[in-house]
Chains A and B, each alone.
Chain A
Amino acid sequence: MEKIKSLADLRKIREEAREKLDLRVKGDNPEGLVQVKVAMATCGIASGAKPIMEFFVEELDKRGIAAVVTQTGCMGYCYAEPTVEVQLPGREPVVYGFVDRKRADEIIEKYIKNGELVEGIIPVNYEKID
C-alpha cells in the first residue's frame, strides 16, 4: 500500500471508501447509528482503554458497521475498567466492564450485530465507588 502522508491522500481514501460503503446511512441520522463510548479517564487509560477504543474503531470500520465511536469520562466503575457503553438504535445503553479484545469482539459480533447480550454487563443500579 502506498504511504498516506497528506490530507489530499486522505480525501482519496475517503472517496474510495464511500464507493464501497454506499449503504451506510452515516451523517443523516446519528440516532440510527450504533453508539460506542469508551470510558477514557485516568482509570480507564491506565487499564488499557485506548487499545480497546482503537480496536472498536478499526473493527467496526472493517466489518462495515455504521457506528459512532467516542470517549466518555469516568462513570464511577473504576474497578471494572476498561468500561464501554454501547447503545443500539432505539435501545437503552448497556455498560460492559472489564472489556478486553476478546470481549470487545464478542460485543461487536453478538451484541451489536445480533442484539444478543454478552457477559460483563454492569447493571444500571449497581453501586458506585463512593
Chain B
Amino acid sequence: MKEIALHIMDITQNSVRADASEITVTLNESIAADTLTLTIADNGRGMEPDACIRASDPWFTSRKTRKVGMGLPLLQMNARISGGEMNIESVPGTGTTVIATFRYSHLDRPPLGDVSGTIALLILSYPGINIVYNHLCEGGRWSISSGQIREELGEDALTDLTIVRSLKEIISQNVAELRNYQPGYDKY
C-alpha cells in the first residue's frame, strides 16, 4: 500500500466483515513526538488470542475466497520499515483495535494520501455502520461521523452520491485548516 489512506480502506474491511456497527478511525500526527499513529477500532465480534496472533501472518485469513490475507501484514511491514510497529488488541465479543505507529519524519513512512476521499467512500459504502473519523495534530482535533451526517441530513444522505462528493471536500478542508496551524505540515 502506497498511502496510509489505502491502509485505512483495507483494514476497515476486516471490521466490516467482523459485523461491527461502529468503526472509529483516528489519525494522530505529532511532529513534536515525531510519530504518526493510526488507530482503527471496531465493536465487531473480535478474535480469540490465537487468531489475534496469527492475524499478522500473510498465510492466515478467515475468508474462504482465497488463501492469503495481506491487509494486516502489509500495514505491519510499512509500520516497521518506518521505525514503528503494529499492535492488535482484540476481545472476543467486544471488538478489535489495530494500532499502527510510524516515525513521522522517516523517509519510508507512506504519505497520508487521500484520507478524506477514503472516509467519504467508507461512509457511502456502509450506511448501516457508524463510521467515525478523528484527526488530531498540533492544531487540535476534528471529527466527523456517519451518525452526525444522518442526524443533520437524514438517513438517505449517507447513500447520496452528491453528498459524498462534497463530504470529501468538507473533510479535506477542515483537516487542512487544522494542519495549517503549524506550517510545514503540507509537505507531508
A residues apposed to B, CB below 8 Å: 3-11, 13-14, 17, 26-27, 40-43, 45-46, 50, 53-54, 57-58, 60-61, 67-71, 73-76, 78, 128-130
Contact = CB atoms under 8 A, between A and B. Distances in A.
B161 interface: yes
Interface string B152-171: 11001101111111110110
Given A4-B173, A128-B65, A73 B71 contact: no
Given A40-B9, A57-B124, A13 B160 contact: no
Interface in B57-85: 63, 65-67, 69-71, 74
A57 B164 contact: yes
Interface SS of chain B: helix, strand, loop or mixed? helix
A73 B13 contact: yes
A61 B165 contact: yes
A4 B169 contact: yes
A2 to B, nearest CB: 11
Nearest to A66: B161
B149 interface: yes
